[in-house]
Structure 1
Amino acid sequence: MPTPHLATLAIRPLTLQDLSGCADLSEDRGWPREEHKWGLLLSAGTGYGIDAPDGQGLAASCVVTSYGDSTSSPALTAIGMVLVAERYARQGLGRRLMTQLCAELAPTPLTLHATPNGRPLYEELGFKATGRAEMLVGHFTPSAPTPADPITGTVRPATAADLQAILRLDRDVFGEDRTHMITRLPSFADRLLVAEDEDGTLTGYAAAWPNMNTHVVGPLIAQDTATAQALVAALADTTDRPLRTDIDIRHAGLIDWLKAHGLQSVAFNAVMTHGIPALPGDWTRRFAPLTVAAG
């Protein structure tokens, strides 16, 4: 049970002015600071935090990102960046933060990616594991042929004229509208590519955004594995940094291909949902999220 003074600490909204404090909290728990990602999450989503009673930054944090046509009644909300400072760990702060959020967000369906350490708490709160993602990191090493199966069409840099088609494809695949997130990609990502067939119809898109010393590949949306391979290979060709991505384990063909091209498995996260039996949309074309923190 939390000590009385921790149990009475206020939960408050976080803003971009809290970005440095959020990064400090990440670092405190052994995570990368990830200021660039925090900036996106605090802009496109809503952060919640508990100020440390010792006056030294944040004691706990999380971010929720809602999707759907109506901001007043979202169709799906993702929860991420649930962190508690080491000196306040195992004293009930994370449970209190999550319990209050789940109550306030009800009856909206929820999703999150859970580490093995966090999963027991989420299960106690009613979340169920409905999928699994494998995190892979490493320098991409091209080899012939790349991709394994050539696609019919081209991969090219996205332009402003592609935005509406990207939004339509994303909604079809993700299952809910996330315009407020996807329209931030051109400024957030270092590279944004699209795949199109011979008729000019978009068959996929992917972004690579900077995160510390890596480029994260996500979102990765593609009509098939070959298209996903082509998008990743094209993104890798534009950077000297290691790639990092979180692939739905049902896409075993892409995972094996990435491993054959230099990436290594570093972790697994459980994809969990609350209030729905599975995520909406078409998982067969959804290879990787923008970031696990935003669903």
Structure 2
Amino acid sequence: MSGQPASPSLVCETFSESDVEGAHALSLQFGWPHTREDWRFAAATGRGFVVRESGTVIGTALCWPWGERGATLGLVVVAANQQGRGIGRMLMERLLDALGPRMTVLHATQAGQPLYEKLGFRKVGLLHQYQGTGFAAPFVEPPPGERLRPLEAGDTPRLIELATRASGLDRSALLPPLLDMSQGVALVKGDTVVGFALLRPFGRGHAIGPVPVVADDGLDRQRAQALIANRLAANAGAFTRLDTPDEQGLGPWLESVGLARVDTVVKMARNGEPARDPATLQYAIVTQALG
């Protein structure tokens, strides 16, 4: 992969904090909900590249290595009036060169999917985006012998374990800063955390995710609904978003409580697939970029 600028007038450099303002302005052109704070969090937890022309940001792409073997990739955007110059491909090649042989996941729009396929990604699933403000916040009874409680400081290692097992990605670097900005709830059986859900500021309001739950006794759906309903109640009347994998089949229930499906994207992977633990399921991801 060359990863060379598509034109001598273009400058491609490492993405830095100083690029957040330009990247945010670029993403607004496409109606993305990301705030400046969302961009700052993404940049602080990952790395990437920016393309400028005459000092103006016209393209970005970021990636997040999770441990030595896995990564996610996202926030790939090129100004509408600059498309067709090879900028998107150049940015992707830069990222893939930096990531090397890592198994890498991204979520693709229909427009972006052909490029990603040419770069070695293949479809491995679908992800549905649900959101709204006029939802009901029902109480869902946890399974017998289980209860909901606020997260505690000592839960962090277990939360990292569950999130890693459910996603197939090392979440040890992501969970601590994510917990700092979130309101979370745990589902416990005896003294063991068997699931959790986080509610945090994101985009036009708040987002729920991740939501990993233990599934070894077949109670995963009830556990997930109890956790999500609790976080919906904590954000009643306010804009809330949740991105859920298609294979979990949560859509009908989310629609029944008043969240509308507004988008579906394709989950793609390169150099293999995430090594998820089938005994722990992920009912909502963090973000489409972070996985």
TM superposition score normalised by structure 2:
0.89
**CA-CA distance at 1:183 after TM superposition:** 0.6
Contact 1:45–1:65, Cα closer than 8 Å, also in 2:
yes
Corresponding residue for 1:234? Answer: 230
Which letter maps to 1:245? Answer: L
Corresponding residue for 2:217? Answer: none
Corresponding residue for 2:51? Answer: 50
Corresponding residue for 1:246? Answer: 243
Corresponding residue for 2:146? Answer: 153
Contact 1:36–1:210, Cα closer than 8 Å, also in 2:
no
Q: Deviation per CA, 1:6-45, whole angstroms, max 9, x where unpaired? A: 4343321112222212211111222124222212211111
Please report the RMSD computed on the Cα atoms of aligned residues, expressed in angstroms: 1.9
Moved over 4 A (4+): 148-151
**CA-CA distance at 1:168 after TM superposition:** 2.1
Corresponding residue for 2:7? Answer: 7
3-state SS in 2 of match to 1:180: coil
Alignment match of 2:257 (pick from 249, 261, 272): 261
Corresponding residue for 1:17? Answer: 18
1:141 and 2:136 aligned: yes
CA distance in 2, matches of 1:67, 1:130: 19
* Structure 1, unpaired ranges of 5+: 69-73
Judged with a 3 Å threshold, the aligned counterparts in structure 2 of structure 1 residues 244 and 33 are, in CA distance, closer, same or farther, namely closer
Contact 1:80–1:294, Cα closer than 8 Å, also in 2:
yes
Corresponding residue for 1:59? Answer: 58
Task: Give the total of aligned pairs.
Answer: 279
* Structure 2, unpaired ranges of 5+: 215-219
**CA-CA distance at 1:202 after TM superposition:** 0.6
**CA-CA distance at 1:149 after TM superposition:** 6.7
Q: Deviation per CA, 1:117-166, whole angstroms, max 9, x where unpaired? A: 111110111110001111111233134xx327745411121121211221
CA distance in 1, matches of 2:234, 2:141: 19
CA distance in 2, matches of 1:30, 1:116: 16
CA distance in 1, matches of 2:277, 2:84: 38
Corresponding residue for 1:219? Answer: 210
Contact 2:128–2:261, Cα closer than 8 Å, also in 1:
yes
Corresponding residue for 1:194? Answer: 186
**CA-CA distance at 1:5 after TM superposition:** 7.7
Alignment of 1:20-35 (within 5 A): 20-35=21-36
Judged with a 3 Å threshold, the aligned counterparts in structure 2 of structure 1 residues 39 and 152 are, in CA distance, closer, same or farther, namely farther
Corresponding residue for 1:71? Answer: none
